[in-house]
Structure 1
């Protein structure tokens, strides 16, 4: 299958002190250079990332930033990659986002570019902010400044505490007709858990065309030589909106719409532990809903009422907001958000 999206080597940076601004700027420009960006394009990335980091240092609480490549297919069908920047905080939020995005609006002490200039430098952007809860900003930069195709799926993983590797992982095949998503939580944390999840992603990459239960059976067999993992698979038929789902262990999955959410059933068990008989369940997903899957590194108690308007935003912003507000630092965490329709 084509269109594989998966966990990468995601490195989170705390952006709470002034010294972090230069570090994230360098990380972003180095990545842009590695992706073939020219001097002018790299400068756009540097200024926008510096401004975003400055805002986190000056105005935010618990500011974090993630910088990573974002693969996509260009207009000619050739593979390309954007620089994806995610900035999140638990700060005061933005009461009037429209005003903050106007020309000439700036906050004292920053580079003077302001939020509007920062997002105009990006090839694509999305912002979600709730006063008193904080802000999530997603920016994509391409070498030619053309917006990448709008993403229908995004995922994030974050290791426990100060660990360097995450034992949770996600993967998704996304095509115009079908999307197949997997979230895996390797038992424990650290390298043994990460190896179990990497093994699961490799199996998914080779056999993602299978229905959920046969795919879980492959995963169960492959993970017997590892520590084992909780795993769940969702298969979405975009034309009908039907979702076929099967899971083992504590992977939470939901069909989320503006007015609420519906939980998907995952049975007890561990892939690699010779689990009980597997079972597939089928659900109907409304056209403008999302499928959200996450490991138990996120609390399942989040409430859609606490996130007004969130489902209208990009999958990256949805996943980042949930990781920020429902994630715990006491465990590895992984969350995936998938739009049912474009």
Structure 2
């Protein structure tokens, strides 16, 4: 097991896989994957049963209402405590009023309409975002006992492997150092297990070091992951409204505004672990209402927050899931990580 986060820090993430919801049988696959994770984490049988209900309801809802629905199953760790996170993503008709659609008794498919209501009652957190005509993203977290979610900095990410691969060569990680948030996205060269190993080595090295300057972190990783095939890596440090950023390779960074404006961040040519002509660090401002987005080249840069009114005010995980859904290309691994600002 890799490093675990301290209380108040971002959780560390273990990706368990994506379930494509093409038929009613996908609910069983999602349920088994989520329950296996809960039991690994020591959930009681009752709580594991609640995880099963939530996973099955989300998958069934995708099957009934959505087009191209998928469900991500992940393990989150806060210190010694582990939880299960489920992220449902679809390209369905979307909803103008997601809170109303989540209420018990509401139905658009002739059912009792209790699915999302049960999901929200059983989960520690449940949050979603929907745009009519574009689809919906919906994320839940369940901890061993339903006692509320841990509060951490406004940062999250999501990755998925390219079609035909079982593991993803792209990865993100986040940690806190002396009040500053540090965020890394790594894109291992190529695809498959070797790319995943390279990205994992970068993430582990990032989580284990006490360095907090992005350029110094990249220099450190460049020396310590040379046994892998290498990776493109970008690192950002956010403290208040101040951003320090450094990147080697084609992991893109941008400060995105709700009106669609984007300010691109500068990366340098190179491959962490193999090729570097030198690392440079740049300073930026992250204004209130804007978000910092880092993504690998498996995500097209043809996205704009203008297309998603109000999205930047939501959980960064919903921003990452929406960008991944609409800008991720299926012929490559893809990862999106998002950091916001406190109100």
2:256 alignment partner, SS class:
strand
How many angstroms apart in 1 are the aligned matches of 2:81 and 2:110? Answer: 36
How many angstroms apart in 1 are the aligned matches of 2:103 and 2:13? Answer: 35
TM-score if structure 1 supplies the norm length? 0.91
Contact 1:128 1:310 in 2 (8 A): yes
How many angstroms apart in 2 are the aligned matches of 1:60 and 1:81? Answer: 30
Match for residue 34 of structure 1 among 40, 43, 50 = 40
Unpaired runs of 5+ residues, structure 1, are 74-78
Q: Which residue of 2 aligns with 1:76?
A: none
Q: Which residue of 2 aligns with 1:280?
A: 281
Instruction: Check if 1:196 corresponds to 2:198.
Output: yes
How many angstroms apart in 2 are the aligned matches of 1:174 and 1:31? Answer: 26
Contact 1:187 1:229 in 2 (8 A): yes
Paired residue total: 335
Contact 2:127 2:139 in 1 (8 A): yes
How many angstroms apart in 2 are the aligned matches of 1:110 and 1:307? Answer: 29
TM-score if structure 2 supplies the norm length? 0.91
Contact 1:212 1:233 in 2 (8 A): yes
Tell me whether 50-59 or 172-181 shows the greater mean CA deviation.
172-181
Q: Which residue of 2 aligns with 1:253?
A: 253
How many angstroms apart in 2 are the aligned matches of 1:94 and 1:210? Answer: 42
CA RMSD of superposed structures (Å): 2.1
How many angstroms apart in 2 are the aligned matches of 1:98 and 1:214? Answer: 44
How many angstroms apart in 2 are the aligned matches of 1:13 and 1:142? Answer: 21
Contact 1:7 1:157 in 2 (8 A): no
- Give 1:53 shift: 1.0
2:234 alignment partner, SS class:
strand
- Give 1:247 shift: 0.6
Are residues 71 and 223 of structure 1, via their aligned partners in 2, closer, same or farther at CA, if it must alter by over 3 Å?
closer
Are residues 163 and 52 of structure 1, via their aligned partners in 2, closer, same or farther at CA, if it must alter by over 3 Å?
same
Q: Which residue of 1 aligns with 2:162?
A: 160
Q: Which residue of 1 aligns with 2:265?
A: 264
Alignment of 1:1-342 (within 5 A): 2=6, 3=9, 5-72=11-78, 79-108=80-109, 112-151=113-152, 152-174=154-176, 177-238=179-240, 241-259=241-259, 260-341=261-342
- Give 1:274 shift: 3.0
Are residues 255 and 55 of structure 1, via their aligned partners in 2, closer, same or farther at CA, if it must alter by over 3 Å?
same
- Give 1:209 shift: 2.2
- Give 1:4 shift: 6.0
Are residues 161 and 219 of structure 1, via their aligned partners in 2, closer, same or farther at CA, if it must alter by over 3 Å?
same
- Give 1:102 shift: 2.8
Are residues 228 and 175 of structure 1, via their aligned partners in 2, closer, same or farther at CA, if it must alter by over 3 Å?
closer
- Give 1:59 shift: 1.4
Contact 1:167 1:190 in 2 (8 A): yes
Are residues 208 and 323 of structure 1, via their aligned partners in 2, closer, same or farther at CA, if it must alter by over 3 Å?
farther
2:15 alignment partner, SS class:
coil
